[in-house]
Amino acid sequence: MTDKNFVEKAYALAKEQYAGFGVDTDAVLEKMKDVVISLHCWQADDVSGFETPDAELGGGGIQVTGNYPGKPESVAEMRADLDKVFSLLPGKQRLSLHAIYGEFGGKKVDRDAIEIEHFQGWIDWAKKHGTGLDFNATCFSHPLADDGFTLSSKDKKVRRFWINHVKACRKIAAEFGKQLGTPSVHNLWIPDGMKDSPVDRAGYRAILKESLDEIFAEEYPKEYLKDAMECKLFGIGSEAMVVGSHEFYLGYTIQNKKLLCLDNGHFHPTELVGDKISAVLQFLDEILLHVTRGVRWDSDHIVTLNDEIIQIAQEIVRNNYLNRVNIGLDFFDGSVNRVGAYLVGTRAARQAFMQAFLEPTGTLLKYEENSRYFERLALLETMKTRMFGAVWDYYCLQNDVPVGGDFIDEVVKYENEVLNKRG
C-alpha cells in the first residue's frame, strides 16, 4: 500500500516544479473533473453478449483472442465486474452498451425486436452509479450478417432487418437519454465490405446511404440522442473495401449534422487521429472517439499511455474541445484479467488527459509563433519527464481510489475471491 504521507509530500514538490513552468497543478486536478470517459461494455466478456446462453462473437471482421478464466456468464456477473471497475477508477465514467447486452429473460428476441424493457435493468444500474449510458447497434455475430453485408446488402430482406434493428437501437438510446438526463451517443459500426476487389463499390455505398437516410428520418431531441457513425479502413475479410469508409462517413456526417466516430485503430498506422480532430471539427459540431491501441493488424489492444493517445488528449485540451468530443474506449482482450484490462486502459486514457493539462501551452505557442522550433521541441521533451506521476498519484488519492500500482493487488484479490469461483 502506498503511504498517504509520501503521496502528499511528492505532490507538494510536483506542484512547485510545475509552477516553475507556469502550470497550476491544483487547477489541473479541477479540470480533470471535465474528463468523462465512456467505458465500452464489451471488454467485460469478449463481445459475447447475452442473446442466447452460449452467445459468442462471430464474423464481422473483429476477433477476440484469449480464454482467460472468469468471464461473466450473466448480466448480474457482468454488473458485478463493472461495479468493481467503476469503484477503482478516478473521475467520471459512463457505460457504452451494445444491443446484444440486453436482458432477454432466456427468450430468443431477434435484433429487430429489441425494446427498452430489455435494457431497463441497465438504466437502473446507471442511475445507481449516477452516470449516463451510450449505445451501439450490433450488426455482427448474426446469421443475417454472415455474408459480410448488413445495411448495404443487395438483399432487400437482409437490409430491411438491419434497418429495423438500428431504428430499434436509436429508440432505446433516446430513452436512455430521457430517463438519465444526459444524451446517449448511439454509435453505428457495420462490418460491410469485401475481401477482394469489388466491381460495384458505388452500388454498395449508394445502398448504405439510402439505408442511413431511412434510419435517420426519425428525429429525436438532441438532449436525448446523438448519432455517431464509425469508419474503418479495412477489417479481416474486408481488406479490399469497407463500404463505410472514412470519406463516406465524413461526407455523410457533415451533410446530415451527425457525429463522426474516429477509432484510432481504423486508419493506416502512419495516420493519426490526433491530427484529424482539429480538421473534422472545422466542419462538424461534435465527434465520438474510440480510443484504442492498434498492434499490427489488430485494432483493439488495451490502451496504454503511448504517443498516439497523448496526442489525441493534447489536441482536445489545447483547443478546448472537451465539450465537442465524446470520449469512448474500444478494446477487447480475452487473454488477461478482463477487469484489469479496463483499469489499465481507462487509467491510461485519463493519464493522457492529465499530461495534456500539465502542458505549458502558452509558452510552447509563443515559441512556435516565433519560429523557435528547437525550444518548442526541447520543452515538449522536458515536460515528458517532469513529476507527472506524483500529480497522478495525488489525483487518485483525492478520488479515493488505489494509488500507483495498488490497483494490481485489488484486481488479483477480486480474481481470487470472485472470478476464480465462476463456472
Encoded one letter per residue, x for contact with ligand RNT by CB under 6 A and - for no contact, window 36-65 reads ------x----x--------------x---
Of positions 43, 93, 131, 136, contacts ligand RNT by CB under 6 A: 136
Distance from C-alpha of 97 to C-alpha of 173, rounded to nearest angstrom: 10
* Partner from ligand RNT, Zn ion, none contacting 238, C-beta within 5 to 8 A by type: none
* Partner from Zn ion, ligand RNT, none contacting 62, C-beta within 5 to 8 A by type: ligand RNT
Per-residue cell: 298: 489488430
Q: What is the DSSP letter of 77?
A: H
Catalytic, 110? Answer no
Catalytic, 290? Answer yes
Distance from C-alpha of 81 to C-alpha of 421, rounded to nearest angstrom: 13
Q: Closest distance between ligand RNT and the C-beta of residue 137, in Å?
A: 9
Using CB positions, name the residue nearest to ligand RNT. 189
Q: DSSP for 281-305?
A: TTT-S-EEEEE-EEETTEEEEPP-S
230, 308, 333, 393: which one is catalytic?
Answer: 230
Distance from C-alpha of 263 to C-alpha of 106, rounded to nearest angstrom: 33
Nearest to 259 by CA among 233, 285, 240, 278: 285
Distance from C-alpha of 120 to C-alpha of 172, rounded to nearest angstrom: 10
Residue with smaller CB distance to ligand RNT, 298 or 393: 298
Distance from C-alpha of 369 to C-alpha of 371, rounded to nearest angstrom: 5
Looking only at the bridges linking them, the beta strands covering 36-40 and 241-242 are unpaired
241 binds ligand RNT (CB under 6 A): no
Residue with smaller CB distance to Zn ion, 330 or 393: 330
190 binds ligand RNT (CB under 6 A): no
Q: Closest distance between ligand RNT and the C-beta of residue 87, in Å?
A: 24
> In the window 336-395, what residues touch ligand RNT (CB under 6 A)?
none
* Partner from Zn ion, ligand RNT, none contacting 118, C-beta within 5 to 8 A by type: none
Residue with smaller CB distance to Zn ion, 262 or 358: 262
Nearest to 119 by CA among 219, 214, 186: 186
Question: Where does this chain bind Zn ion (CB under 5 A)?
Answer: 263, 290, 330
189 binds ligand RNT (CB under 6 A): yes
Whether 289 contacts 326, CB under 8 Å: yes
Residue with smaller CB distance to ligand RNT, 109 or 236: 236
Residue with smaller CB distance to Zn ion, 40 or 347: 40
* Partner from Zn ion, ligand RNT, none contacting 42, C-beta within 5 to 8 A by type: ligand RNT
Residue with smaller CB distance to Zn ion, 72 or 328: 328
Catalytic, 415? Answer no
Q: What is the DSSP letter of 85?
A: H
Q: What is the DSSP letter of 185?
A: E
Whether 273 contacts 230, CB under 8 Å: no
290 binds ligand RNT (CB under 6 A): yes
Residue with smaller CB distance to Zn ion, 286 or 330: 330
Q: DSSP for 214-283?
A: HHHHS---TTTEEEEEE--S--TT-SSEESS-HHHHHHHHHHHT-EEEEETTSS-TT--HHHHHHHHTTT
* Partner from ligand RNT, Zn ion, none contacting 136, C-beta within 5 to 8 A by type: ligand RNT
Q: Closest distance between ligand RNT and the C-beta of residue 286, in Å?
A: 17
* Secondary structure class of 51 (helix, strand, coil): coil
186 binds ligand RNT (CB under 6 A): no
45, 51, 81, 300: which one is catalytic?
Answer: 300
Give the CA angle between residues 421, 422, 423 to the nearest 5°: 130
Catalytic, 178? Answer no
Q: What is the DSSP letter of 1?
A: -
Q: Residues in contact with ligand RNT, total (CB under 6 A)? A: 11
Q: Closest distance between Zn ion and the C-beta of residue 147, in Å?
A: 22
Looking only at the bridges linking them, the beta strands covering 92-98 and 184-188 are unpaired
246 binds ligand RNT (CB under 6 A): no
The footprint of ligand RNT (CB under 6 A) covers: 42, 47, 62, 136, 189, 230, 232, 263, 290, 299, 330
- Residues with a known catalytic role: 189, 230, 232, 263, 266, 290, 298, 300, 330
